[in-house]
Amino acid sequence: MRKWLTVLLYVSGIILAFIYRYDILDWLREDHNLLLSLGAATLLALFPVLPYKLIIGLFGYVYGSAAGLLLCWAATTLAAAAMYGIVKYLFRDKAHAYLTSVQALDKFTAAVQRRPFASIVLARLVPLIPQTAVNVYAGAAGLPFWSYLAASGIGKIPGIALYAYLGDQIFQNPRSAVIAFSVYTSVLLVAGLSLRPYRPGRK
């Protein structure tokens, strides 16, 4: 019963957030209360009814690069911890059974569990991977919580910093925005090369 109630509340939250998404955006533009803004950013990370890059850019525009980065980083880290806990403690048995029932996923999970920290950092860095899916997968696979949370916090920084900076600077200094995007792309490339699985005998 508790599991279904959790699912019902989550789906209801998504529906309500979707219905009032533009009202939420208007409120974020007008209200500069840090605590309330942190709460709203966390809810929008938990209930992804809008592209979160848009939220980060908006926070960068409203609060500036540094404050926007800190607010969105804290919000997404809180949301990641909450989603991990919900999946791990309420749905892990079923989720884990599904992961082990699919051979490809089972092998992938075994590889991730050998290097959980590096795997989560890389998953957070890659912009094409849905971050909610990373949260759910980590809870389902039972990755070590503190390792997962630390890796998530580190891996989120470059992307959030980029979009907060773009929100702050893109209309005032487009050239700096292009440079920032180029630096971010370079960080992704270096991270991808450094986090490649180690193969014995490779020079």
Which tens digits make up the pLDDT trace of 144-181? 999 999 999 999 998 898 888 887 776 666 666 666 66
Q: What is the mean pLDDT of residues 3-22?
A: 60
Q: Specify the DSSP class assigned to residue 197.
A: P
**Measured distance CA(163)–CA(183) in Å, rounded:** 12
What pLDDT is attached to residue 203?
A: 46
- Model confidence at 47: pLDDT above 70: yes
- Model confidence at 10: pLDDT above 60: no
Q: What's the pLDDT band for 194 if we cut at 50, 70, 90?
A: low
Contact 153, 50 (CB under 8 A): no
SS3 at position 18: helix
The Cα diameter of the chain in Å comes to: 58
Residues of the chain above pLDDT 70, percent: 65
Higher per-residue pLDDT: 132 or 31? 132
* Residue 51, token pair as written in the block: 């592209």
The amino acid occupying position 172 is Q
Q: What is the mean pLDDT of residues 109-137?
A: 84
SS3 at position 51: coil
- Model confidence at 112: pLDDT above 60: yes
Contact 115, 121 (CB under 8 A): no
Q: What is the mean pLDDT of residues 182-195?
A: 67
- Model confidence at 201: pLDDT above 60: no
Q: What's the pLDDT band for 187 if we cut at 50, 70, 90?
A: low
Contact 181, 166 (CB under 8 A): yes
Q: What's the pLDDT band for 116 if we cut at 50, 70, 90?
A: confident
**Measured distance CA(30)–CA(25) in Å, rounded:** 9
**Measured distance CA(184)–CA(125) in Å, rounded:** 10
Higher per-residue pLDDT: 13 or 121? 121
**Measured distance CA(139)–CA(119) in Å, rounded:** 14
Domain ranges of the chain: 2-194
* Residue 133, token pair as written in the block: 């899916």
